[in-house]
Amino acid sequence: MGWLGRTLDRTAHWLLQWRIIRGPARWVANSRYAWSIVSRTDRVRERRLQTRVMGDTLPQHISIIMDGNRRYAADSGLAATLGHRAGKEKLEDVMDWVLDIGVPYLTVYALSTENITSRKPGELEALFDLYVEGLNDLSTDERIHKNSVRVQVAGRKELLPERVLEAIENAESLTASHDKFVFTVCLAYGSREEIIDAVRAIAADHAEGSLDLSSIDEAEISKRLWTGDMPDPDLVIRTSGEERISNFLLWQSAYAEYYFTDVFWPSFTRGDLLEAIEAYQQRKRRFGE
């Protein structure tokens, strides 16, 4: 079919050089009929994709590096703060999709320890306000309580301002008894710092005599990580076209499957999520074998 597609493409380009063709073609392309056909086609495609995904083994833990808010804003002629707000609203959508699909663990990378020192103070303050708003929304969101979602925050919380800490405490305490889904937000998070803290805890236990050197293994390190009460991620998704892990879940994602997409985070769709899961399902996981 490749030759046929190329032939049709060349023919279309040749026809569009003529004004008598170009005018009507532009009208058709921008008409509500064309958008209706495209929209219906996308919905049919998405339904079929979801049917395939739901018929196979789902990942139990999805982690997302939500990247591209500022570039989305720049491309749209918006302030960076509006890009971050669009990213917050997208996260609410993605949580709905994950709950609908039935994946019990969702972890997102919202703010790194490096971001705290590299971002401008005004942008950071706007981000902190968004985190407070988002966490407070989660505390009272009917979907959270109806679906028994436990909300938790992982990271160097001492680097966050008091208003964010209060919002974290509120969200965590109000959802502490929920046990069906776990939603983890990584704030002021750095995986190297997380591993350092775990090593320090192990060293302290060994020094006081409560932990033998021979007992230090993967399990001992894992349970001391900030995410120690969760299974390792099966699928890690990064948006915006960057193909690196940026100090995110280094220990936990040793055997995770990675999926990179060029889509900026605010433009991420349900179809993009389903495509990432289907790509995961099509891979043979070897776990180092």
Instruction: Answer for the pair 279, 258: CB distance below 8 angstroms, yes or no.
Output: no
Catalytic one of 67, 141, 234, 272: 67
Q: Is 100 a catalytic residue?
A: no
Cα dist from 199 to 194, 215, 252, whole Å: 9, 13, 15
Bridge partners of 237, per DSSP, are 64, 259
Side chain identity at residue 212, one-letter code: D
What are the helix (H) ranges across the chain? 2-15, 19-29, 32-54, 69-75, 80-101, 113-118, 121-140, 142-146, 162-175, 191-207, 218-222, 270-281
Q: Is 115 a catalytic residue?
A: yes
Give the number of other Cβ atoms within 10 Å of residue 65's Cβ. Answer: 25
CA distance 50 to 30: 29
Q: What region does 288 belong to: left with phi over 0, alpha with psi -120 to 50, or beta?
A: left
Catalytic one of 9, 42, 69, 115: 115
CA distance 16 to 24: 10
Catalytic residue positions, numbered: 67, 115
